[in-house]
Amino acid sequence: MFNDIRGFFTLVIYPLQSIASMPDELGFWLDSQLNSHQSLVDENKKYRAENLLLKAQLQKFTSLQAENIRLRSLLKSSRKLQDQMLIAETITVDLDPYKRQIVINKGLLSGIYAGQPILDAYGIMGQIIHPGIPSSTAILITDPSHAIPVQNNRNGLRTILYGTGSANFLEVQNLPNNADIKEGDLLITSGLGGRFPEGYPVAVVTEIKRDPGQPFAQITAEASAHLEQSREVLLVIESEGVSKDSSAEREQKDEP
């Protein structure tokens, strides 16, 4: 009988005990959830920091990979040429909108001289105009004061390419309307003038306008070299047929 009464009271009291213990259990549960949440937040911050670091390292790897590709292209290009080459690096670019010039990290100490041709893996870039001791200034072929004798690789037609001051484009002047020149023609150095060795790519003809009322065609060409992108450049070391004393000034427009 006594056991039955105790069991009855236990049955009645149990819900009350459960209700009384709920705040403690709820507090314990909330504390556990908050700790878990904070742990997840901390872990998330850690992973985000690691991800950021890995992305930075990946950028550096990508940069190194691109640099390796560029150097391989330069090396491959130099091996194809009979002229001796010296590799240099562009360190500054002239921001003057009326000039197209760069400064490289090679100078008189490396044997650099005025008029020395420079190129990248794709074609002629320009020539040295101010050799310094540790560095030198080079004028690009797109500079408005620069001119370079070229010939059409398809038929040997000789002409002169003039810089326009734009980033990548040059123009042919004083070429008759009936001249045999087409869009897509590759213009290469002719070797005339004793400045640039013969046979280097200079530009590709992109546009030709022929006006019957005008004696000369308007011809635009895009530089073969990556003038605004190349970090490493090649300098042609003086060889037979290349003169240090040739003038670096623009050739007269009326000279063929």
Is there a domain that residue 202 lies in? Answer: yes
Average pLDDT over residues 130-134: 94
Q: How far apart are CA 87 and CA 73, in angstroms?
A: 12
Is a pLDDT exceeding 90 seen at residue 241? no
Per-residue pLDDT band for 52 (boundaries 50, 70, 90) equals low
Average pLDDT over residues 231-241: 73
Under 8 Å between Cβ of 91 and 135 = yes
Per-residue pLDDT band for 253 (boundaries 50, 70, 90) equals very low
Is there a domain that residue 162 lies in? Answer: yes
- CATH code of the domain in which 99 resides: 2.40.10.340
Give the pLDDT score at 33.
65
Is there a domain that residue 256 lies in? Answer: no
Is there a domain that residue 252 lies in? Answer: no
User: For residue 225, which of 191, 202, 199 has the smallest C-alpha distance?
Assistant: 202
Is there a domain that residue 9 lies in? Answer: yes
pTM of the entire predicted model: 0.66
**pLDDT, tens only, 67-78:** 666 666 666 655
Same domain, 71 and 92: no
**pLDDT, tens only, 168-204:** 999 998 899 999 999 999 999 988 988 888 888 999 9
Give the pLDDT score at 58.
63
Is there a domain that residue 254 lies in? Answer: no
Average pLDDT over residues 12-38: 61
Q: Which of 28, 54, 80 marks a domain boundary?
A: 80
Same domain, 209 and 104: yes
Q: Which of 62, 80, 98 marks a domain boundary?
A: 80
User: For residue 236, which of 128, 159, 109 has the smallest C-alpha distance?
Assistant: 128
Is there a domain that residue 168 lies in? Answer: yes
Q: Which of 55, 80, 105 marks a domain boundary?
A: 80
Q: How far apart are CA 251 and CA 255, in angstroms?
A: 7
Domains identified in the chain, total number = 2
Per-residue pLDDT band for 223 (boundaries 50, 70, 90) equals very high
Of residues 44 and 22, more confidence is placed in: 44
Same domain, 154 and 234: yes
Number of H helices, E strands in the chain: 1, 12
What is the per-residue DSSP string for 10-36?
HHHHHHHHHHHHHHHHHHHHHHHHHHH
Of residues 231 and 210, more confidence is placed in: 210
Give the pLDDT score at 145.
94
Same domain, 95 and 220: yes
Which residue segment(s) compose the domain that 44 sits in? Answer: 1-80
Same domain, 233 and 147: yes
Same domain, 144 and 18: no
Same domain, 72 and 100: no
CB-based contacts of 237: which residues, under 8 Å, 6+ apart?
83, 84, 85, 86, 111, 116
Same domain, 26 and 96: no
Average pLDDT over residues 204-214: 93
Averaged pLDDT score across all residues of the chain: 78
Under 8 Å between Cβ of 237 and 85 = yes
Under 8 Å between Cβ of 137 and 118 = no
Q: Strand ranges (DSSP E) for the chain? A: 85-93, 101-104, 117-119, 124-131, 136-140, 147-152, 158-163, 169-172, 186-189, 201-209, 218-223, 232-236
Average pLDDT over residues 17-38: 62
Which helix (H) or strand (E) segment holds residue 125: the answer is strand 124-131
Q: How far apart are CA 150 and CA 165, in angstroms?
A: 19
Same domain, 96 and 222: yes
Under 8 Å between Cβ of 110 and 238 = no
Same domain, 52 and 97: no
Same domain, 28 and 119: no
Give the pLDDT score at 57.
57
Same domain, 112 and 224: yes
Give the pLDDT score at 99.
87
Is there a domain that residue 203 lies in? Answer: yes
